Amino acid sequence: MKNFFTICSLLLLLLSFSLKAQDGGIKGQVIEVSGEPLVGANVTLKGTTKGATTDLSGNFTISNVDDGSYALIVSFVGYEEVEKSVTVSGNITDLGTISLSPSLLFLSNQVVISGTRRAEKLTETPATIQLISSRQIVELPSFNPGELLARVKGVEFVRSGVVGTGINIRGFNSNFNSKNLQINDGRYATLVATGLPFGPLGTIIKEDVDRIEVILGPNAALYGPNAHNGLVNTITKDPRSSEGTTFALGAGNQSMLTARLRHAQALNDRWAIKVTGEYTKGEEFEFADSVYIDRLNASGNPGRDGIKEGYEELELDNDFSFLRGGASLYYNVSDDADIIASWGGSNSTYLAPTNVGRNQIIDWKISYYSLKYTSPHWFAQAYMTTSKTDDTYAIDERTKRYYIGIDTGLPDAEARGEYSYSSGARFIDDSQRYNAEVQYNTTLSEFNIVLGAQWQRDLANSHGTYLLDNNEKDYIQVDQTGIYGQLEREFGSGFKVTTAFRGDNHEIYGFNFVPKAGIVKTVNNGSFRLTYAQGIAAPTILNMYGNLFSGLILGNAEGFTLADGSKVEKQKVEKIQTFEIGYKGQAAKKLFLDANAYYNISEDFLSPVTVIGVTTHRGDQPTSEVQDAYAVYQGLVATYVNFGKVNTYGFDIGLNYSFTPNLNLDFNYSYFDYSVDEDNLEENDFNKDGVVNKLDVLVNAPTHKFGVGLNYSSDKFFGTVFTRWVQEYDYFSSFQIAAKTQDLVYRGVPVVEDARSADTWNYGPLGGFVNVDLGVGYHINDIFTVSGQVTNLFDAEFREFTASPFIGRLYSVELKIDLPAIK
């Protein structure tokens, strides 16, 4: 027994010496060069098994470290690894802040979620994904992060004015383009009735955007209809990893002023909040488009000279303003599960181009209410989106109606009043959308599995102004459900196979099955991929239930019967198949390469508005009961139909060369072309003129374009010079035309540059310009940053979109104040 106590005493003595020897430790904070904390950075002691991971504030502590000298390794995906020498001597050694600089390997190791709805390395996803990083967004001296889309390869970027920016992907653009799906934090960010992306109507401010992921090509298998040509996924910041308060104040020409605020704070270990707000205002470029009107002469005959006369848009208001904001409450259910409640809203007034002229957007309000649950295996969300405007109107239609009133003897004030809206110029929107989704992902044996289901209910209401509803209580209800799944397996030797599917059932256009499959082969710091995907573009509520200009344009959810007894089938989904190969990775020590080539087969196009002739019925209902101005039109209807089969193909190349960790060069080039069976008149002769040409296909995309940018970013200075060239190309979208003179007739009028074309003016082709943008900034200290930019540095006059002004030089300056969180 005595020996036992002796041994125990010796063991306790040894243990006490051991504990005393390991009282030492190391602590510090890991940040990026901008001062933002890096959450989840790895900190290890070289040659040992000891280490730690940084918390939500970027802090770390390594405990129980024996006395001695060590090499401390700090690493984080996308940043240069740092090694520091540290000596431990019985106490906690505080290393203070450790700053990491971006690395070229960031492009190889960056994690994205949009390709497979699972977190994975950018190079290993079976899709062409372009990433706009948080650093690019932070260093953009503008309130509009959409401007950065101009620098993304494979994207056809257009600027329609001071604030209007938009994109198209791989052809078939129009002034009402709903083929690219926009989502924000997993929520659909599209208008209920038209399916158009929110664009300037959005609720997110720039300071809350963490990154933007852009998918080139269809991704409908996982995200549903209208992820047809591509997907733009905006992901906002988590308040727990981005604490603090940011003020941004900016000013520029065109009377532009902007003020933005973001505050984020972790209240305790469980709760965190963030709030955002923005007010931006200014004036659009001076531009008044021509509107062509059948005037009555003294004898009561149309046209004083026998032709339509052109007039400037009536009561054009160039002022724009945006008020937007949001709030989110995060609750940490467990270490790896969150419940997030969010709200966002906006109120917007601006000029918007359409395929029949411009709309005066007035106090258009967007709101969403969202509840979300996230965990390693489960994702669930339910959200409501509302859209409301009472006074928005079509400028062209109101202008035409005004002059008709003047010709019939109305006083000017009366002609400008309610009479000018009487043919359907005013658009009221009072619509709602309800969405719910649940997703489960797990690993079973050697397979990564994702399964999900979605439900959506659209309740569209125009108070009878542009849809086939009758009043404020008569909602057009459309339901749809979808299930999706994905199976992924790694086979060794760097091979990974991903298959996905979606079954989508729509109340109007029925059931569709959409598959996708991809093979990825990882090699060194990059990977090759081969992908096959299908996509669908679904008719919008406007396509199905539109009622524009007193029934001249009617939606095609039911089909039509023509006066001769023939039928016009109801609309169905547009389909696309894509075959794609690509490589993404570090091709050399300082060179990152991203290249892809694709071949698309598109069929059953959703047409622009087209006159189908005199009708007797819409579905089973007589046209006389549907068409408001039947006494005038006598059943003549314009609508939307399906037609055609076209093959498109092209390739995109992106290069990033890093001269130093602070200086890099970006270059991107895109080629796009198409082929169509010109002998297939039955399917492809859309305008029925006996020949198949570009007026049937309406590709509306340049064949060649490139961009090159030089970027610098350091602890103090940052700046970018970006040059973009877009080849000249012809563009046709319903009544809008931008084309050179040629031996073609469009909508009954010869195509002549700088001349009238039906109801609009043809200013000539789009593109054909070189544009240079310059941005610079300086971090005065950890709190204050000043920056400025000039868009269209050399004030080259060019036009990027129809029903839009010629783009002039834009310049702005900005002061940003970053205040740390109060603990």
Digit-coded pLDDT (tens) for 629-663: 999 899 999 999 998 899 999 999 999 998 987 89
Q: Is residue 5 part of a domain?
A: no
Residue 382: pLDDT over 50: yes
564 CB-near residues (< 8 Å, 6+ apart): none
Q: Would you place residue 7 in the very low, low, confident or very high pLDDT band (cuts 50, 70, 90)?
A: very low
Residue 314 tokens read as 């009536």
Please give the average per-residue pLDDT across 665-671, as a whole number: 96
Digit-coded pLDDT (tens) for 297-349: 444 454 444 456 788 999 999 999 999 999 999 999 987 899 999 999 999 99
Residue 428's H or E segment, with its range, is: strand 426-444
What is the number of domains present in the chain?
Answer: 2
Spatial separation of the C-alpha atoms in residues 303 and 323, rounded to whole Å: 44
Per-residue b/e over 83-111, b at no fewer than 16 CB within 10 Å? eeebebeeeebebeebbbbbbbbbbbbbe
Residue 268 tokens read as 């305790």
What is the CB neighbour count within 10 angstroms for residue 749? 16
Spatial separation of the C-alpha atoms in residues 238 and 260, rounded to whole Å: 18
346 CB-near residues (< 8 Å, 6+ apart): 201, 202, 203, 322, 323, 324, 325, 365, 366, 367
**Are 52 and 58 in contact, with CB atoms under 8 Å apart?**
no
Q: How many helices (H) and strands (E) does the chain have?
A: 11, 53
pLDDT at residue number 299: 47
Exposure on the CB side of residue 2, measured as CA atoms within 13 A: 0
Digit-coded pLDDT (tens) for 352-361: 998 888 999 9
Spatial separation of the C-alpha atoms in residues 383 and 388, rounded to whole Å: 17
pLDDT at residue number 725: 97
Please give the average per-residue pLDDT across 393-421, as a whole number: 93
Backbone φ and ψ for 395, nearest 5 degrees, come out as: -65, -45
Exposure on the CB side of residue 50, measured as CA atoms within 13 A: 17
pLDDT at residue number 109: 53
Q: What is the CATH number of the domain that holds 707?
A: 2.40.170.20
Q: Is there a single domain that holds both residue 156 and residue 69?
A: no
pLDDT at residue number 574: 92
Q: Is there a single domain that holds both residue 440 and residue 482?
A: yes
Among the ranges given (173-177, 293-297, 384-388), the one the predictor scored with the smallest mean pLDDT: 293-297
Torsion of CA 466, 467, 472, 474, to 10 degrees: 170
Q: Is residue 611 part of a domain?
A: yes
Q: Is there a single domain that holds both residue 70 and residue 148?
A: no
- 155 by DSSP, 3-state: which? strand
Burial level of 249, CB count in 10 A (0-12/13-18/19+)? middle
Residue reference for tokens 């992907």: 169
Q: Is residue 1 part of a domain?
A: no
Exposure on the CB side of residue 572, measured as CA atoms within 13 A: 11
pLDDT at residue number 281: 98
pLDDT at residue number 18: 40
Q: Is there a single domain that holds both residue 498 and residue 549?
A: yes
The larger pLDDT score, comparing residue 226 to residue 444, is at 444
Q: Is residue 758 part of a domain?
A: no
Q: Is there a single domain that holds both residue 124 and residue 57?
A: no
Digit-coded pLDDT (tens) for 68-98: 889 998 877 556 678 889 999 888 888 989 9
Please provide the size of the chain in residues: 823
Q: Would you place residue 37 in the very low, low, confident or very high pLDDT band (cuts 50, 70, 90)?
A: confident
- 409 by DSSP, 3-state: which? coil
pLDDT at residue number 199: 92
Q: Is residue 629 part of a domain?
A: yes
Which residue range(s) make up the domain with 612? Answer: 107-729+766-819
Q: Is residue 746 part of a domain?
A: no
Residue 797 tokens read as 């006059």
Q: Is there a single domain that holds both residue 95 and residue 194?
A: no
**Are 806 and 792 in contact, with CB atoms under 8 Å apart?**
no
Digit-coded pLDDT (tens) for 215-268: 888 887 778 777 888 889 999 999 988 899 999 999 999 999 999 999 999 999
pLDDT at residue number 218: 86
pLDDT at residue number 114: 63
- 351 by DSSP, 3-state: which? strand
Digit-coded pLDDT (tens) for 587-625: 888 889 999 999 999 999 888 788 899 999 999 999 999
Q: Is residue 160 part of a domain?
A: yes
Q: Is there a single domain that holds both residue 602 and residue 669?
A: yes
Domain endpoint, select from 49, 73, 100: 100
CA-based R_g, the chain, Å: 29
Q: Is there a single domain that holds both residue 198 and residue 70?
A: no
Residue 25: pLDDT over 50: yes
Q: What is the CATH number of the domain that holds 82?
A: 2.60.40.10
Please give the average per-residue pLDDT across 769-790, as a whole number: 96
Please give the average per-residue pLDDT across 118-147, as a whole number: 82
Q: Is there a single domain that holds both residue 41 and residue 183?
A: no
Domain endpoint, select from 78, 100, 122: 100
Please give the average per-residue pLDDT across 430-448, as a whole number: 93
Task: Look over the chain and give the mean of its residue pLDDT values, rounded to a whole number.
Answer: 88
Among the ranges given (17-21, 246-250, 350-354, 570-574), the one the predictor scored with the smallest mean pLDDT: 17-21
The greatest distance separating any two alpha carbons of the chain, rounded to the nearest whole angstrom, comes to 130
**Are 807 and 792 in contact, with CB atoms under 8 Å apart?**
yes
Q: Is there a single domain that holds both residue 346 and residue 306?
A: yes
Chain Cα centroid distance, residue 280? 20
pLDDT at residue number 251: 97
Q: Is residue 327 part of a domain?
A: yes
pLDDT at residue number 112: 63
Least Cα distance to 425 among 312, 548, 295, 291 occurs for 548
Domain endpoint, select from 100, 115, 150: 100
Q: Is there a single domain that holds both residue 491 and residue 598?
A: yes
pLDDT at residue number 102: 64
**Are 693 and 743 in contact, with CB atoms under 8 Å apart?**
no
Quickly list DSSP for 571-623: P--EEEEEEEEEEEEEEETTEEEEEEEEEEEEEEEE--SEEEEEEEEETTEEH
Residue 284 tokens read as 């659009």
Residue 68's H or E segment, with its range, is: strand 68-75
Q: Is there a single domain that holds both residue 70 and residue 214?
A: no
| Amino acid at the residue 178 | S
Residue 17: pLDDT over 70: no
**Are 427 and 469 in contact, with CB atoms under 8 Å apart?**
no
Residue 106: pLDDT over 50: no
Helix-, strand-, coil-residue percentages of the chain, each rounded to 5: 10, 55, 35
Tell me the C-alpha to C-alpha distance, in Å, between residue 773 and each of 12, 132, 410, 811, 814: 71, 17, 50, 10, 16
pLDDT at residue number 91: 85
| Amino acid at the residue 116 | T
Please give the average per-residue pLDDT across 454-470, as a whole number: 94
